[in-house]
Chains A and B, each alone.
Chain A
Amino acid sequence: MSRRLFTGGRVIDPLKGTIKIADVLVEDGRIKAVGKNLRAADAEKIDCRNRYLAPGFIDLHCHLRQPGEEQKESIASGCRAAFAGGWTQICPMPNTVPPIDSEALVRFELEAARAADAARVIPVGCCTKGRQGKELAELGEMWQAGARAISDDGSWVSDAGLFRRILEYAKTFDLLVMSHCEVPELVPELADEGVVSTRLGLHGAPGVGEAIAAMRDILLAHWTRTRLHICHVSSAETVEVLRWAKERGIAVTAETCPHYLALTVDALNGFEANYKVNPPLRSEADRKSLIRAVVDGTIDAIATDHAPHAPEDKDKEFSNAASGIIGFETAFSVLYETLVLKKALTLPELIARLTVVPAQILGIEPPRIAPEAEANLVVLDTEVSWVLSRDKIVSCSHNTPWLGKKLRGRVIATLLGESFRVNQ
């Protein structure tokens, strides 16, 4: 029988927005008790004084590269990297090689994740066979195998008739439809369209290209009465579309990512490919608009869009470099600094957007630190400053603009069931 006693931590309840100092006793993967002066003589003691205890984070959007590109990230390495960053449940997008578009691949993904003994995977299947945007994938079989959402992430389903059918059919199994919104004709290159792209000679991708796609998807979702989730929102125009939709009570949710909240297109000035992401980093006005949207709930959740790439794909001329950055292990620190230290959100509010809200979007039980609940928690140190070095990264890939940078606040430990990790 394993027992762990987390002593003297500030326990965050993101649902109520409260913080209270308490000990947390965990036995065999379940929370046994939460309260003052708990005693358990034989338990492993974890001193949490001046630290926070929060429910484990749920990542609505990330990329593991298995099957097909395991040199970038396997399911096992990805689950471990996520766990190190405090993510206990993750939704890997299905744009693997081959894409996850069948029952067998969903089962394979779940099996590989189970063996990793770290973060748990919530599979996202493809909307269309092979992510080709032509034929409906076998959504029912994938749902039966464990998929809880569908997406052709990386490609917008540009055929409106097909997207309508996807929405309608997904309703059968209450699958969440997640959309990567991007009108392809408006995205010639991955730089926000404006003075920076012009100065750098990069063909711009305007934020309105994302908003137009989001608007179409939202109108169809409303009309078919299906739940829709807009992925990695990057532009102020998309925020306006979401605001319009939410004011009308349309069942749409949205996420953005730490890099869109912390960085702007100005980072591209040195043509450094570690700032190349899809959708692209945008202007300061967009960034501020996203922060406001996170604060007022127009954007519901924050996901990592963890996108590992091998050095040979990233250490290249900007135009040909792969897009995406890893995010599991830096997300909390970047968000803490960008949102909490700058007083846009309180710490419990931030935690809510990483835990309760994503759970509600997915339709799963939110993790909570309460007696009888499954052990699913993180220990956070908000006082610590640390430098992200290559040897500290758990992911197989190192493509992040935060390499060598000082970060504030850190996930110190993660616990899910019997799996426990302490970051050194």
Chain B
Amino acid sequence: MAGLKHLLGIAELTGDDILAILEQARRFREVLDRPIPIVPVLRGKTIVNLFFEPSTRTITSFNLAASRLSAQCLNFAVGGSAVKKGESILDTVANIEAMRVDGIVIRHSAAGVPHFLARHVSCFVVNAGDGCHEHPTQALLDAFTLIEHFGTLKGKRVLIVGDIAHSRVARSNILLLNKLGAQVAVCGPPTLLPAGIEEMGCEVFYHLDRILSEVDVVNMLRLQTERMTANFIPSLREYRRFYGLTRERLAKIKPEAVIMHPGPVNWGVEMDYDVREFSQTLIMNQVKNGVAVRMAVFYILALKRGILSEEAK
């Protein structure tokens, strides 16, 4: 973890890095259960949320994580910014950095933007989702939620279902689950399974019914209709029929298996509304744990850069 200066993706982390973040998240998870869930770890520090894509839950989660650590958190409103006047990302970030911020959380529709920024800024950069590339904090909070539930990821069989091609969540999850000893399978139509996905360390299935009953975790992905151009699937109706987690399919999963979804859910497409009521659904736990995981990420990056507040030291 000595070299961890930014959180750009799971690809750059070792298994030990991941475990250290999750262990720190566990401590912060306890803080969040206190009557006053705030610690002075980043007092006097400033973190900017730079979201070039619309998001509600992720930006709120990062916001809360920063404020629970006593940092000031600014949300950069891209819609009304100079970006619309033709300013490049680099100009925007250089200006923000000139205002002396300690960290930037960035979400962008283009893969690699956090890596590009990290080469140009001196503050830490956290990738909050870059195109179809990575969404590392989502994978970390998914792992945290699973470890909270099962105690370990070793030997667990995790099935990721749906639009793998357009999913940064899937890529980060595949990388992380492999690093922590889980077995990963992906399932979807070949149009939504990108080339060489099996070389990332996962089994590939085209038919959900052939694998569903054999796994410990079913992670249903949102069908990213906004990222699709055309002809990936014939209709949402047909997609639900072959890949939707319907009431009938719910009956086929192992009794101890759990259901996850990174949200927001397209109810009635990748999941029937009934799944909400299913006792083994961890969707709300994922959301709750997101704050603790993001606090841990901020804390560790601040620690590595020697910018923790005096109180924290």
Q: List residues of A whose CB falls within 8 A of some B CB.
A: 188, 193-204, 206, 270-271, 312, 315-320
Most chain A CB within 10 A, of B108, B111, B171, B194, is at: B111
Stretch at the interface among B59-67, B76-84, B125-133, B246-254: B125-133
Mask: chain B, 154-170; 1 = CB below 8 Å from A; 0 = not = 00000000000000100
Q: When the two chains form their complex, are residues A317 and B112 in contact, meaning their CB atoms are under 8 A apart? A: yes
Q: When the two chains form their complex, are residues B194 and A204 in contact, meaning their CB atoms are under 8 A apart? A: yes
Q: When the two chains form their complex, are residues B116 and A318 in contact, meaning their CB atoms are under 8 A apart? A: yes
* A193: B residues at CB distance < 8 A: 195
B197 within 8 A of A: yes
Name 16 A/B residue pairs within 8 A (Cβ), A-sorted: A194-B196, A197-B196, A198-B200, A201-B168, A202-B111, A202-B132, A270-B115, A271-B112, A271-B116, A315-B90, A316-B89, A318-B110, A318-B111, A318-B112, A319-B110, A319-B111
- Picked from A199, A204, A206, A315, the residue with its CB within 8 Å of the CB of B171 is A199
Per the bound structure, the CA–CA distance linking A188 and B111 in Å amounts to 14
Q: How far is the CB of B290 from chain A (nearest CB, A)?
A: 21
Q: When the two chains form their complex, are residues B194 and A197 in contact, meaning their CB atoms are under 8 A apart? A: yes
* B260: A residues at CB distance < 8 A: none
Most chain A CB within 10 A, of B11, B132, B171, is at: B132
Q: When the two chains form their complex, are residues B110 and A203 in contact, meaning their CB atoms are under 8 A apart? A: no
Mask: chain B, 183-200; 1 = CB below 8 Å from A; 0 = not = 000000000001111011
* B110: A residues at CB distance < 8 A: 317-320
B134 within 8 A of A: yes
Instruction: List CB contacts (< 8 Å) of B101-131 with chain A.
Output: 108, 110-113, 115-116, 130-131
B88 within 8 A of A: yes
Please name the residue on chain B nearest to A191 by beta carbon: B111
Q: When the two chains form their complex, are residues B89 and A317 in contact, meaning their CB atoms are under 8 A apart? A: yes
Query: In the complex, how many residue pairs between chain A and chain B have their CB atoms under 8 Å apart?
Result: 68
Q: Considering the complex of A and B, which 8 residue pairs feature the smallest CB-CB distances, nearest first?
A: A271-B112, A201-B133, A195-B196, A201-B132, A319-B110, A201-B111, A198-B194, A195-B199
* B111: A residues at CB distance < 8 A: 200-202, 271, 318-319
Per the bound structure, the CA–CA distance linking A200 and B194 in Å amounts to 11
Please name the residue on chain A nearest to B120 by beta carbon: A315
Q: How far is the CB of B112 from chain A (nearest CB, A)?
A: 3
* A200: B residues at CB distance < 8 A: 111-112, 133
Q: How far is the CB of A115 from chain B (nearest CB, A)?
A: 35
* B130: A residues at CB distance < 8 A: 201
* A317: B residues at CB distance < 8 A: 89, 108, 110, 112-113, 116
Q: When the two chains form their complex, are residues B108 and A195 in contact, meaning their CB atoms are under 8 A apart? A: no
Q: How far is the CB of A203 from chain B (nearest CB, A)?
A: 7
Q: A200-B111, A203-B132, A271-B112 are known contacts. Are A316 and B88 too (CB-CB below 8 A)?
A: yes
Per the bound structure, the CA–CA distance linking A197 and B171 in Å amounts to 11
Q: How far is the CB of A271 from chain B (nearest CB, A)?
A: 3
Q: When the two chains form their complex, are residues A206 and B195 in contact, meaning their CB atoms are under 8 A apart? A: yes
Please name the residue on chain B nearest to A196 by beta carbon: B196
Most chain B CB within 10 A, of A197, A200, A203, is at: A200
Per the bound structure, the CA–CA distance linking A315 and B130 in Å amounts to 17
Q: How far is the CB of A196 from chain B (nearest CB, A)?
A: 8
Q: How far is the CB of A120 from chain B (nearest CB, A)?
A: 38
* A320: B residues at CB distance < 8 A: 110
Per the bound structure, the CA–CA distance linking A204 and B168 in Å amounts to 15
Mask: chain B, 172-212; 1 = CB below 8 Å from A; 0 = not = 00000000000000000000001111011000000000000
* A271: B residues at CB distance < 8 A: 111-112, 115-116
Per the bound structure, the CA–CA distance linking A197 and B197 in Å amounts to 10
- Picked from B88, B115, B195, the residue with its CB within 8 Å of the CB of A198 is B195
* B131: A residues at CB distance < 8 A: 201-202, 319
Q: How far is the CB of B177 from chain A (nearest CB, A)?
A: 15
Please name the residue on chain A nearest to B109 by beta carbon: A319
Q: When the two chains form their complex, are residues A195 and B200 in contact, meaning their CB atoms are under 8 A apart? A: yes
* B132: A residues at CB distance < 8 A: 201-203
* B88: A residues at CB distance < 8 A: 312, 316
* B171: A residues at CB distance < 8 A: 198-199, 201
Q: How far is the CB of A216 from chain B (nearest CB, A)?
A: 22
* A198: B residues at CB distance < 8 A: 171, 194-197, 200
Per the bound structure, the CA–CA distance linking A315 and B134 in Å amounts to 21
Extra contacts besides A198-B194, A202-B132, A318-B112 (17): CB < 8 Å: A194-B196, A195-B199, A195-B200, A196-B196, A198-B171, A198-B195, A198-B196, A199-B11, A199-B171, A199-B200, A200-B133, A201-B111, A201-B131, A271-B115, A316-B89, A316-B90, A316-B116
Q: When the two chains form their complex, are residues B195 and A197 in contact, meaning their CB atoms are under 8 A apart? A: yes
Most chain B CB within 10 A, of A204, A315, A317, is at: A317
Per the bound structure, the CA–CA distance linking A319 and B110 in Å amounts to 6
Please name the residue on chain A nearest to B113 by beta carbon: A317
Per the bound structure, the CA–CA distance linking A206 and B194 in Å amounts to 12
Per the bound structure, the CA–CA distance linking A258 and B199 in Å amounts to 28
Per the bound structure, the CA–CA distance linking A193 and B168 in Å amounts to 17
Per the bound structure, the CA–CA distance linking A318 and B185 in Å amounts to 29
* A199: B residues at CB distance < 8 A: 11, 171, 200
* B199: A residues at CB distance < 8 A: 195
* B197: A residues at CB distance < 8 A: 195, 198
Per the bound structure, the CA–CA distance linking A310 and B131 in Å amounts to 25
Q: How far is the CB of A143 from chain B (nearest CB, A)?
A: 40
* B168: A residues at CB distance < 8 A: 201
* B108: A residues at CB distance < 8 A: 317
Per the bound structure, the CA–CA distance linking A319 and B171 in Å amounts to 18
Per the bound structure, the CA–CA distance linking A319 and B196 in Å amounts to 21
